[in-house]
Amino acid sequence: MKNSVLILDFGSQYTKLIARRIRDLNVYSEIVPFTISLKKIKALNPGALIFSGGPSSVYEKNAPKISPEILKAGIPILGICYGLQLIAYLSGMVIEPAKSREYGLANLEINKKQKSSPSDLLLKSIKNHSKVWMSHGDKISKYPRDFIVTGRTKNSEVAVIESKKRKIFGVQFHPEVVHTAKGKKIMSNFLFGIAGLKPDWSMENFIKSTLIRIKDEIGEDRVILGLSGGVDSTVLTLLMKKAVGDQLRPVFIDTGLLRKNEYNDLMFKFKHQLNLKVTGIRAADIFLKNLVNIRSPEKKRKIIGRTFIDVFRQAEKKIGKVQFLAQGTLYPDVIESVSVNGPSVTIKSHHNVGGLPAKMNWKLIEPLKELFKDEVRKVGIELGLDREFINRHPFPGPGLAVRIIGKITRDKIKKLQEADAILIEELLNFKIYDFIWQAFIVLLPVRTVGVMGDIRTYENVAVIRLVNSVDGMTADWYPAPYDFLKKVSNRIVNEVKGINRITYDLTSKPPGTIEWE
Ligand code: XMP
């Protein structure tokens, strides 16, 4: 861990972003709860610590605090916003509520007198009046002598503090957000200039070390892997195959809830494009039987999750005994469970294959659990995976089940598959596909009157849903060009029997969610 950064999370909405920014600078970073002990920190042996921002005020009764011993451990520290105030508080400075909350862009005034001093480390090469992003309600009013103040803004006399001797630094603004013009430079000043870290986190190195780790862990055993054709499970398959060859047994399950022709298309591509031996399991009958008459989204998810387990268990009959289950868990899922706020309220019980291992006697291996999604994509590129797989939109585990509102029937699945295929075809024709995060059709249990030729129709409504997102946590609806929408809606109404009206979803997340169920 020596060449890495530990980020102590005090509950900021930007904590993940700090981790991303550090990794963009090719340094490995990990988020840990602020409750971590000094002993544990020392055992992890990081090259630097970052204290994140957070929603609290240091003088609140239950404000998150750390042991002051951490400040004395000699590890270079950068405090951001709340992190700075905590350093200030633990170092005997005075913090008080600012006259008004400072939120948004501010000009950073660099203290000229200090500028030429040897402690011009954090703000090296930063120009006076650089724009910084503020979001805080407290300010520091008095500070001890062993710190110098190197930056201020109109509302914060103390916007940057530095103590070269104690290797402790702090900024009131957020260098991790893009609005802070020179945020990246400030971060790199800290990581490389102050903490002396080396930029050695690359996907090439990740692959090298992960292959060794996987081989070590699996030994002579066999591994089952649920392949879906999505970028995570596909990258995982390539990585595992490179590590343990034929000991890996990838399985692709046809739930009957996939996109049109998806099962056959993907089985073909796995074999001929990716050179993978994948066991296909046709399980549509079981899934659809279990879902008969089910309307509730949560019940659908639970039933599908359970059915996956059953089908997975059955798979051993086809592929032989296995000892390991490989899963494409990513870092954001891990962070969720370590964050100071704990896992967030269940809006939807995303089933993924997450519920599987507890019920099975397989050992779990999760080689991607240190990576963010864009890093998984980079690993895919390094492993030679085609762009087509790298850029595939995410597709939920429960598939079309959560896009058919209400009861699921084969007839509705067929209608949805046809409409969805038209949407995807036109997204590719209009060259929009690669510019959005996810695109799909939702089939509503609502019928409306229409007229086609001279004939009255009374058929279902379908919704076009196009969204952009970075990680699926928040999303914006995509302003699609009119001629594209016109083409898609015309084609669906004309070509898909049973759908006679199309609407366009203009809801972002929040307050909506991406899927309708
Ligand atoms: P929501 O609808 O929660 O979706 O805004 C966020 C992202 O997650 C996908 N999603 C799921 N993925 N199992 C999955 O594996 C699920 O049950 C599930 N529900 C939603 C959704 O497609 C979007 O990318």
Cis preceding-peptide flag for 511 (omega within 30 of 0): yes
Residue from 330, 395, 514, 517 whose mutation best tests the ligand 1 pocket (most atoms within 8 A of CB): 514
Does residue 219 register a pLDDT over 90? yes
Is residue 508 within 8 A of residue 477, CB to CB? The reply is: yes
Residues comprising the chain, all counted? 517
Ligand 1 center to 442 CA (angstroms): 14
Backbone φ and ψ of 443, nearest 5°: -100, 125
Is the CB of residue 514 below 6 angstroms from any atom belonging to ligand 1? Answer: yes
Same domain? For 98 and 244 the reply is: no
For residue 106, the number of C-alpha atoms closer than 13 Å in the C-beta half-sphere is 24
Q: How far is the CA of 411 from the centre of ligand 1 (A)?
A: 24
Is residue 455 within 8 Å of residue 468, measured between CB atoms? no
Q: DSSP letters along 258-283, please?
A: S-TTHHHHHHHHHHHTS----EEEE-
- Catalogue the E-assigned strands of 194-284: 223-226, 248-254, 279-282
**E-only strand ranges, 372-473:** 438-452, 455-468
Q: What is the mean pLDDT of residues 297-314?
A: 92
| Domain closes at, from 194, 216, 234 | 194
Alpha helices in 398-481 (DSSP H): 410-429
Q: Looking at the predicted structure, is the pLDDT value of residue 389 above 70?
A: yes
- Same domain? 151 vs 265: no
Distances in Å between the alpha carbon of 478 and those of 25, 386, 435, 450? 30, 26, 10, 27
What spacing in Å lies between the alpha carbon of 278 and ligand 1's midpoint?
25
Task: State yes or no: pLDDT of 127 exceeds 50.
Answer: yes
* pLDDT at residue 353 in the model: 43
Residue-range definition of the domain harbouring residue 80: 4-194
Q: Does residue 95 surpass a pLDDT of 80?
A: yes
Catalytic residue IDs: 81, 174, 176
Does 153 lie in the same domain as 47? yes
CA distances in angstroms from 105 to 19, 110, 178, 181, 469, listed in the order given: 22, 16, 11, 10, 24
Task: Confirm or reject: Cβ of 378 under 6 Å from ligand 1.
Answer: no
**Does ligand 1 have an atom closer than 6 angstroms to the CB of 228?**
no
CATH number of the domain encompassing residue 157 = 3.40.50.880
509 lines ligand 1 (CB under 6 A): yes
Separation between Cα atoms, residue 294 and residue 350, nearest integer Å: 17
Instruction: Say which CATH number the domain at 353 has.
Output: 3.40.50.620
pLDDT at 337: 59
Chain centroid to Cα 21, Å, comes to 14
Q: What is the pLDDT of residue 342?
A: 45
d(CA 185, CA 125): 8
Question: Same structural domain for residues 30 and 179?
Answer: yes
- List the residue whose alpha carbon is closest to atom 20 of ligand 1: 396
* pLDDT at residue 147 greater than cutoff 70: yes
**pTM of this structure:** 0.85
Mean pLDDT is lowest, of 125-134, 143-152, 179-188, 374-383, for 143-152
Q: How confident is the model at residue 100, as a pLDDT?
A: 74
Reading the block at residue 43, the tokens are: 């055992």
169 and 29, same structural domain? Answer: yes
Give the chain's domain count: 3
Nearest atom, ligand 1, residue 475 CA: 5
pLDDT tier at 471, thresholds 50, 70, 90: confident
**Res 331: pLDDT:** 86
Interval 472-503: pLDDT, tens: 878 999 999 999 999 999 999 999 999 999 99
515 lines ligand 1 (CB under 6 A): yes
For the CA of 348, the nearest atom of ligand 1 = 3
Is the pLDDT assigned to residue 517 strictly greater than 50?
yes
Looking at every residue in the chain, the average pLDDT score rounds to 91
Last residue of a domain, one of 367, 390, 413: 390
Give phi and psi for 248, each to the nearest 5.
-85, 135
From the alpha carbon of 509, which atom of ligand 1 is closest? 5
Going by pLDDT thresholds of 50, 70 and 90, the confidence category of residue 215 is very high
Q: What angle do CA 333, 31, 51 make, to 5 degrees?
A: 145
pLDDT at 365 over 70: yes
